[in-house]
Structure 1
Amino acid sequence: MPKLILMDHDGAIDDLLSQLLVLTMPDTELIGITVTPADCYIEPALESTYKLLQLMGKESVPLGRGDYYGINAFPNEWRARPEIINALPMLINLPKSPDPYTYLSAPDLIIDRLSSATETVTILMTGPCSNLVLALEEVPELKDKIKEIVWMAGAFRVHGNVQTFQHDGTAEWNVFWDPISSQKLVSYELPLTLIPLDVTNHVPVTRKFLSTLATQIDYKLSNLTGQLWALTLDTIPSYHYTYFMWDILATSYLALPEKFTTEIVKANVSTRPPNAGQTYLDDNGYTVKIATDVNPAHFYEYILTHFKR
C-alpha cells in the first residue's frame, strides 16, 4: 500500500517546490492539499498549487482553501511571489484554474480526507499548523487517523528567523504566524516530528547548487525548479536573511528519515511577546521529536537526482 500523504502549505516558493517533490515520490499517494494564507495571498497561491498539479497530471488531487488568518502576518512582499510563479513560461499557458472560492475550506477538506482514509495518514506541513488544529478541534477523534505529522517549524538551540517589532528574534515564522495554534498542536502529543531551523540552517540555497541544477535544464522538473529557486535570490535580501531549503528539507524527511539525526525532547511554545512563537526545550513540556542534523551533501544529491527524473 502506498503511504497516504495530506499536505498543508502556505504558497511560498519552497512550499511549491515541496509540492513538486511529493508528487514525484514513489510509493506515496497525495490525497489532498490545503493552503494556508500565511506566506502568500490565497488566490494566486491556489492557482500556483493547481498549475503544478496540472503539470504533473494530478488535477484530481483535491484542494482546500484556508480562510483563517493568523496573528502575526508575513511581510506583504514575501506573500506576492505566487503572482510571479503563475507567469513562468512552463505555467502561464496551462488551462485556467478553478475559481478559488469554490474549494472546500481547508479544515473541512482535512476532516473529509482523514475521515475517508482507509489507512492512517502522514501529514506534511510546510507552513503554519492552523488548518490542522481547526480541523482537530472540530473532530478530535480524527487524531487516531494520523500516522505522523512532519512539520517544518521551530528553532530550539539556534536563533529564530523572525525580525520584527516587539519581538526578541527567538521564533521561527511558521510558529510565529499563529503561536496559539502551534502551542495547541504541541500539547496534543501526537506523533509530531519537527524539522526546525537547527537542521534547515545546514542547507542554504547556494549558487553552486543552482549552477549544478542548471546543467540538468533538459529535464522538465530541473528546468522549472531551477526557475523557482532563482526567484529566491531576491525574495529575502541576502544582507538581511539567507534563503534556506526549509520546506524541501522537511519534505525530504518523508523519503529519507534514516538520513536525519533526531531527538525526542520535551518542549513548549510561547504564545505572547516578546518571544511569541518561540519553541523551547522544557522539562515540564510536551513530548515531540525534533531533527537536529542531516548530511547536506547527501540531501543535495537526493534533490538533484530526484528532479532529473
Structure 2
Amino acid sequence: MTTSAKISVLLDHDGSADDFLSMVLLLLMDHVDLIGVSITPADCYGENAVETTLKLLSKAGRLDIPVGLGNLHGINAFPSEWRARPKILNALPLLINIDTTASVSTVVSSQVLLTQKLKEAEAPVSILLTGPCTNLVQVLAQEPSLAQKIGSVVWMAGAIDVVGNVRTFNHDGTAEWNVFWDPISSAKLLQYSLPLTFIPLDATNAVPVTFDFLKRLALQSNHFYSDLAGQFWATTIDTIPSYDYTYFMWDVLATSYLAIPEAFTTETIEIDILSSGPGAGRTYRKPGSGQWVTIATGVNKDHFYTYLLDKFNQSPTT
C-alpha cells in the first residue's frame, strides 16, 4: 500500500499474544502514525498487559506513545487461563530484561486517552479494535460529537455466515468472543453510524497459526520481531482446549487490513447484534433494517502470510 501521508491510528487491544503482535505490526507500518494505545481488560489482566505493552514500546524506542488502561469490565468474562497469558509473555527471554520507567500507575484511563486524542486530532483518526469495543462506546456515550473525528473503525469481531467461537454454558455458539464479552456495548456501537469494517471469523478462519508458518518464521529468527512473533505464537498451543484447538491470526489479520486491503474480499451489508439471550453477541445480517457496515468475507492468505513475514523480517532500530 502506498500513501503520501501518514494516517493517525488509535489502537484498542485486549492483551493477548495476537494483540501485541498487532501493535508491533502498526509500529512497522511506514504509513501509520500510532498516536495512542488503549487496553481493555478482557483477554488479559490489565496490569500484565500494560507491562507487555510498555516493554514493546520501549524496545521500539516509542515510549512517547501514550498508553491507557480501561476500567470497564464486560458481561461475559474470558477464561482466566487465557487472561493470564501476558504474564507468561513478560517472562519470555526477549522481554524479561526490558526495563521501562513507566508502570500501570503512570498510565491514564482508556476513556481519558481516547477522548483526549480524538479532541486533539486535526484530521480524521482511524481506530483499530482488536478486543471488545467497550472503551470506544463509553467515550462516544459521554461525548457523541467525537464520532465526527473518526475516519474509520476496523474491528476484529463477529461471525456473520460462520459458526461462532464461544463455547460456554447456556450459549448457542453463534457469537465471537470480542462481541460476546460486552454484547450490549457491541450493539450500541452500531447506533453511531460510524464507518465500520468488521474483520470477522468468516475471514480469520482462513489464517490459522500453522506449524508450517512458524517454521518459515523461525528461519528468519535472527530478526527480533520474527523471533518475538514465533515465541508469542508458540505460547498459544495450550490456550484453547485440545478438543477444539486452532489458534488463528485474528487480530494480526485485522491489523493488516490497514496496509493491504487489496488482499481482502469485502461486502457491504446491513447487520445487527443480539445483546442478550442464548445468542448474545451474535452478529447477523439484517437486510432492510440493520446498520450498514463493511465486512471482510475472505482473504488471500498467501498475500497475507508473505506480507507478515516481510514486515517481521526486521529488528528495532534502538
Taking structure 2 as the reference length, the TM-score comes to: 0.96
Residues 121 and 146 in structure 1, CA contact (< 8 A), matched pair in contact too? yes
CA distance in 1, matches of 2:241, 2:43: 16
1:266-306: CA deviations, max 9, x gaps?
00000112000000101211111100011111111110111
- Residue 97 (structure 1) shift: 4.9
CA distance in 2, matches of 1:157, 1:52: 36
Structure-1 residue corresponding to 2:311: 306
Residues 269 and 277 in structure 1, CA contact (< 8 A), matched pair in contact too? yes
Structure-2 residue corresponding to 1:207: 211
Identity %: 56
Structure-2 residue corresponding to 1:297: 302
Residues 50 and 103 in structure 2, CA contact (< 8 A), matched pair in contact too? no
CA distance in 1, matches of 2:250, 2:218: 21
Q: Which residue, 287, 293, 296 being the options, matches 1:288?
A: 293
1:206-241: CA deviations, max 9, x gaps?
000000100001111111111011111111133223
Letter in 2 for 1:267: I
1:180-224: CA deviations, max 9, x gaps?
100011122210000000000000000000001000011111111
SS at match of 2:64: coil
CA distance in 2, matches of 1:156, 1:175: 12
1:24-62: CA deviations, max 9, x gaps?
001210000000000000000000011110111101100
1:136-175: CA deviations, max 9, x gaps?
1111111111010000000010000000001000000000
Residues 158 and 198 in structure 1, CA contact (< 8 A), matched pair in contact too? yes
- Residue 263 (structure 1) shift: 0.6
SS at match of 2:242: coil
SS at match of 1:239: helix
CA distance in 1, matches of 2:221, 2:161: 38
Gaps of 5+ in 2: none
Letter in 2 for 1:84: I
Structure-1 residue corresponding to 2:189: 185
Change (3 A) 1:8 1:290: same
Structure-1 residue corresponding to 2:82: 78
Instruction: Say if 2:42 is the partner of 1:35.
Output: no
Quick check: 82-91 or 159-168, which moved more?
82-91
Structure-2 residue corresponding to 1:118: 122
CA distance in 1, matches of 2:212, 2:256: 20
Where do 4+ consecutive residues of structure 1 move more than 2 Å? 96-99
Gaps of 5+ in 1: none
Taking structure 1 as the reference length, the TM-score comes to: 0.98
Instruction: Say if 2:243 is the partner of 1:239.
Output: yes
Quick check: 223-232 or 173-182, which moved more?
223-232
CA distance in 2, matches of 1:156, 1:239: 24
Letter in 1 for 2:235: L
Structure-1 residue corresponding to 2:263: 259
SS at match of 1:60: coil
CA distance in 2, matches of 1:108, 1:140: 15
Structure-2 residue corresponding to 1:92: 96
CA distance in 2, matches of 1:237, 1:48: 25
Structure-1 residue corresponding to 2:146: 142
Q: Which residue, 21, 27, 40 being the options, matches 2:25?
A: 21
Letter in 1 for 2:43: D
CA distance in 2, matches of 1:270, 1:290: 17
SS at match of 1:57: coil
Residues 65 and 104 in structure 1, CA contact (< 8 A), matched pair in contact too? yes
Instruction: Say if 2:65 is the partner of 1:61.
Output: yes
Letter in 1 for 2:57: L
1:79-105: CA deviations, max 9, x gaps?
000001111111111114523133211
CA distance in 2, matches of 1:270, 1:188: 16
Residues 264 and 290 in structure 1, CA contact (< 8 A), matched pair in contact too? yes
SS at match of 2:197: strand
CA distance in 2, matches of 1:189, 1:308: 38
SS at match of 2:280: coil
Letter in 2 for 1:64: G
Residues 124 and 149 in structure 1, CA contact (< 8 A), matched pair in contact too? yes
CA distance in 2, matches of 1:26, 1:124: 16
Residues 50 and 97 in structure 1, CA contact (< 8 A), matched pair in contact too? no
1:192-231 to 2 correspondences below 5 Å: 192-231=196-235
